[in-house]
Structure 1
Amino acid sequence: MNLRGCSAQILAHVLNDGQSLTAALEHGLPKIKDVKDRAFVQALCYGVIRHYYALDFMLGRLLSKPLKQKDGDIKALLLIGLYQLQHMRVKSHAAVSETVAATSHKPWAKSLVNAILRQYLREAETLQQACAADTQAHYNHPNWIVDVLKHDWPEHYEKILHANDQAPPMALRVNLLQGNRAAYLDELAAQGIAAQPVDCCETAIRLDQALAVEQLPAFSQGRVSVQDSAAQLAAELLDAQPGQQVLDLCAAPGGKTAAILEHQPALGGLLAVDVDQQRLQRVTDNLQRLNLQAETLAADASQSGSWAGDRQFDRILLDAPCSGFGVIRRHPDIKLLRRADDIAALQALQTKILDNAWQLLKPGGILLYATCSVLKQENEEQIAAFLARHSNASEIHIEAHWGMSRPHGRQIITGDRQMDGFYYAKLYKAP
């Protein structure tokens, strides 16, 4: 099995068909039996997508004419070859020969791939200088994303763009119902797994090196879950009290649902709602592993009248659908698949869900609005507009030593304290 060829097939689904990298990998990786081979293919795919705009720019310089649409697999192979030569510790002769060998299904492409990769080796310095002079290639993002981040964060956009291109750290959430963080850090150390506590969140641990969850002590028994430190802040901010009814909207895959239950085991009840039945199954699976109980419901959060009836809740977490611009380092395909006109549509959907959620909140209750975005129109501007529409809403200021206080809510910039980009705003409903 040629691993470069397998990687090219996976990448073609993303580049040609608009499939998410996660979905393409879930389809392609099970065909590869060896664990190390799967890891290599995954590293190639993530690497190419993460560095796509620079690689594509150089490939455009190297090709005398663009490849045909039907030869997307050959383009993917060329990008794989360039990525290996520029970013991986693969010997250049092996990278070239193995990438060329993956063209066996299209013999005409053998000489082309060989020539392009060898030309890159001769002209690498010149090509990289050309990349540095091109905005899209230099920042490794489409121009429209560079522009919107520069508009929102003129002092921080370069930091955000750079953080987006780094592999993210692996963070864990310790289940405090089954033991404390210090004890779990000791267990990790005993197994030679280097890790650090995250000072802004009592449940968070950051590993020095990512590893398979099967290697984590007592993972299957629910001692820990994988969740970025920024996302873990939600449970503490929501501050659910014993006996309260909690609604978790847009809940899948269930990390925050579980964190709320771990944070407050004496709830009166928790309803986790998500529009996607398949993704909702992941909520159920996570809760089963952690031995936690919640009600789950596949329903549209923007149409609460059809499923909520007269139910009301003391606490609501709305993890709103968003651009995902705070988690590009985890999902680099966002740079390729997201479109500029998606943002206004997402903003309109957030507005609708937020207004619907407000009707489900009891007077005296608290709604926590969250996104994994760094865009102001999805975050602080969304909350400013909400407060202007609802006279019975007021904001509870979030005091914290993480992120930055904004006119409304609190924003974490991608990479700050090694966390994902995240936004929180806490809203109180007057009695």
Structure 2
Amino acid sequence: MVNIKQSPRNLAVTVLERVINKQAYSNLELNQIIQQAKLSVADKHLLTNLVYGTLQHRLTLENWLKPFVKREPVPWVRELLLITLYQYHYLKRVPDFAATNEAIEITKFRGHGNQGLRKFVTGVLHAVLRSDWPDLTTIEDPIEQLSLTASLPLWLTKKLVDENGLLEAQKIGKAINDPARLSIRANRQKGTVGQITDQLAMEGITTIPSQVAADGLIVTKGDLLGSQAFRSGLVTVQDESAMLAVEAMAAAIDLKTANLVLDACSAPGGKTGQLAAQVENGKVIALDIHQHKVKLIKKNMARLGLSDRVVAKQNDARDLTFLADQTLDAALVDAPCSGMGLLRRKPEIRYQKQFSDSQQLHKIQTTILDAVAPKIKKGGIIIYSTCTILHEENDETVVAFLTTHPNFALEKTQTARALKTDRATKTLTILPSDYGSDGFFIATLRRKN
């Protein structure tokens, strides 16, 4: 007999209710639930699929549900209905009757036998099954159609179309709803990519080389987090696009001979470790505003075998008075941003952010760059990066910085795999639709001699 309390569908309701109420991030809440519940591998996969799938397609599912719900249900009932609709349309291997029956059982369990709730859920689901999936192609307005098919708020859909054109925006809309890949970075401190690939294979972890980042690998099979290779710091989990910021710095300056490099916004330390593995004779100063995140950086550096090269410090990157002017060979400013390049991994962001958030973040980003600029030596480098694809936080932040800092010049960002070298811009924007990785932006700023 199915334990309803511990069933993937019931647990998915719990996760989604907390995420939608902004009480938790989807990835963190999901990981916590998986650690607490004793689930089979298949049930873990189903739970993950239900959570991310329902979040990714939320606006589409709400559009389908709307005609069948005359009054707003309580939050957990709404999430249960959306999860069930997601299974009807997107999970072809799950029979409709199985999804329906368990939804009714969950209603009995959560509603403590409330007959009114049970009848409501049963009636809605049976009515939905008698209807057809809405034909969204009949929507004449291309912006509205894309908004519903990709499940993107209208304001964000308009921004993506304005900045990228309708065709590219449609590609982005499709890409962000594809499953995210598990990508890892080989730790140069502990071996070559080839050596580490072989070690992973010995533990039953199959990988393929990243087409995006030179040290990147895509895990296709195996328990990475339970492996000795992970525990001993041979690899770290990091998106392929995120690895490019350090690649860009290495292309612009000789990191082997650098004395002092700053990672201004470093937690949890993925890029810090990537930097430290290449700064052979110097130090990396890693900053974060929160003490618990500084502890996380230190823990990650210890696992990677790089503690002796990293000084982790609790500090606001907008105030760098502890550093003397012109003491840094380079600085990485992976700035706070709206995260709109991470929609594949954190799908709820699209529903929680507004355009005003980007405008406010733009101000914070320029303030950080203003603080970093005088600390850079002549001829030194600032790598400015974000995990968003919105112009306000990317190119417009760079333009604002250069306007007030004429002693810096924008150089063309280079990567190890020479990505998008035929682009017209000096800055590099990786869209989620380009390589199946996260959306990312990088600018290379050199202080003039």
- Fold equivalence (TM over 0.5): yes
Post-superposition shift, 1:34? 2.3
Q: Could you tell me which residue of structure 1 aligns to residue 120 of structure 2? A: 112
Q: Structure 2 matches for 1:405-420, cutoff 5 A?
A: 405-420=423-438
Structure 2: runs of 5+ lacking an equivalent: none
Post-superposition shift, 1:204? 1.1
Q: Could you tell me which residue of structure 2 aligns to residue 231 of structure 1? A: 242
**Other structure's SS at 2:355 match:** coil
Post-superposition shift, 1:382? 1.5
**Other structure's SS at 2:129 match:** helix
Structure 1: runs of 5+ lacking an equivalent: none
Q: Structure 2 matches for 1:275-290, cutoff 5 A?
A: 275-290=289-304
Which of residues 266, 276, 283 is equivalent to 1:269?
Answer: 283
Cα 1:63/1:78, change in 2 over 3 Å: same
Supply the AA of the counterpart residue of 1:281.
Answer: K
Counterpart CA distance in 1 for 2:21 and 2:258 is: 51
Cα contact 2:241–2:440 (8 A) shared by 1 = yes
Q: Structure 2 matches for 1:31-180, cutoff 5 A?
A: 31-36=36-41, 37-67=43-73, 71-88=74-91, 89-103=93-107, 104-106=109-111, 107=114, 108-123=116-131, 125=132, 127-130=133-136, 133=139, 135=145, 136-154=147-165, 155-180=167-192
Residue 183 of structure 1 pairs with residue 195 of structure 2: yes
Which of residues 324, 328, 336 is equivalent to 2:339?
Answer: 324
**Other structure's SS at 2:345 match:** coil
Supply the AA of the counterpart residue of 1:22.
Answer: N
Post-superposition shift, 1:53? 0.8
**Other structure's SS at 2:12 match:** helix
Cα contact 1:380–1:408 (8 A) shared by 2 = no
Cα 1:119/1:165, change in 2 over 3 Å: same
Give the percent of matched residue pairs that are identical in Structure 1 and Structure 2.
28
Post-superposition shift, 1:199? 3.9
Q: Could you tell me which residue of structure 2 aligns to residue 391 of structure 1? A: 406
Q: TM-score, normalised by structure 2?
A: 0.88
Q: TM-score, normalised by structure 1?
A: 0.92
Post-superposition shift, 1:35? 4.5
Cα contact 2:413–2:426 (8 A) shared by 1 = no
Cα 1:269/1:399, change in 2 over 3 Å: closer
Q: Could you tell me which residue of structure 2 aligns to residue 425 of structure 1? A: 443
Q: Which moved more, 1:392-401 or 1:43-52?
A: 392-401
**Other structure's SS at 1:141 match:** coil
Which of residues 24, 27, 31 is equivalent to 2:29?
Answer: 24
- The runs of at least 4 aligned residues of structure 1 exceeding 6 Å deviation read none
Cα 1:215/1:131, change in 2 over 3 Å: farther
Q: Which moved more, 1:393-402 or 1:363-372?
A: 393-402
Counterpart CA distance in 2 for 1:406 and 1:372 is: 21
Counterpart CA distance in 1 for 2:54 and 2:95 is: 18
Q: Could you tell me which residue of structure 2 aligns to residue 204 of structure 1? A: 216
- 1:120-156 CA-partner distances (Å, limit 9, x unpaired): 2221x3x331486353321211111101111111152
Q: Which moved more, 1:392-401 or 1:293-302?
A: 392-401
Residue 195 of structure 1 pairs with residue 207 of structure 2: yes
Post-superposition shift, 1:25? 2.7
Counterpart CA distance in 2 for 1:415 and 1:281 is: 35
Post-superposition shift, 1:394? 0.8
Q: Could you tell me which residue of structure 2 aligns to residue 342 of structure 1? A: 357
Cα contact 1:187–1:217 (8 A) shared by 2 = no
